[in-house]
Amino acid sequence: MSDISIQGDISPQELEQLNAVNPTDIRFSAMNLLARREHSSKELRQKLLKRFDEPALVDEQLLRLTEENLQSDERFAESYLRQRISRGRGPISIRQEMRRKGISDTGIQLAINAEQPDWYALAKLVFHRKFGSLPAEDIKEKAKRSRFMQYRGFEHDHFQHLLN
């Protein structure tokens, strides 16, 4: 077999233009991601940088999306909070996850204040869904139940009364 190499009439400048990142492509990709679900700006930036190796252009497009209110960390925080509450997660877990997603402590608190979840009621629901209404038989079982609730991100005050 012979090696076939394609010799084209493409100059290095034209090749560079073909490989150049287009801001419209970045915006289009960001809009596609946002159409599926809300994203924090940090999360969206990470995903776009995997695809486009132009941090300055990515940041510019993210700023435009934020200014046009197409991307909002506040909206993301509220949506994410509702989603995690519906999955039975407690406040400690939710705060940690939201921090990893790039939401500030102030943004997290604003979302919690807007939603005003009843952590005690949620802890009771999660506890009874997992363990039923029968009391723990021994101290080992109590410890197991306590670890489960802590793993779910609830503060001790939210579920302590359920252990007795």
Q: Mean pLDDT for the chain? A: 91
Structural domain includes residue 103: yes
Q: What number is the average pLDDT over the span 76-80? A: 97
Same domain as 53, residue 80: no
Task: State how far the Cα of 57 lies from the Cα of 21, in Å rounded to an integer.
Answer: 8
Higher per-residue confidence, 59 vs 13: 59
**Containing domain of residue 140, as a range?**
119-163
Query: Tell me, what's the pLDDT at 37?
Result: 96
104 domain residue, yes or no? yes
The answer to the question of residue 10 being in a domain is no
> Is the pLDDT reported for residue 6 higher than 90?
no
Residue 139 maps to a domain: yes
pLDDT band, very low/low/confident/very high, at 21 (cuts 50, 70, 90): confident
Q: In the predicted model, is pLDDT for residue 67 greater than 90?
A: yes
76 shares a domain with 63: no
98: domain CATH number is: 1.10.10.10
Residue 33 pLDDT: 96
> What's the mean pLDDT in 92-107?
97
Residues 142-159 pLDDT 10s: 999 999 999 999 999 999
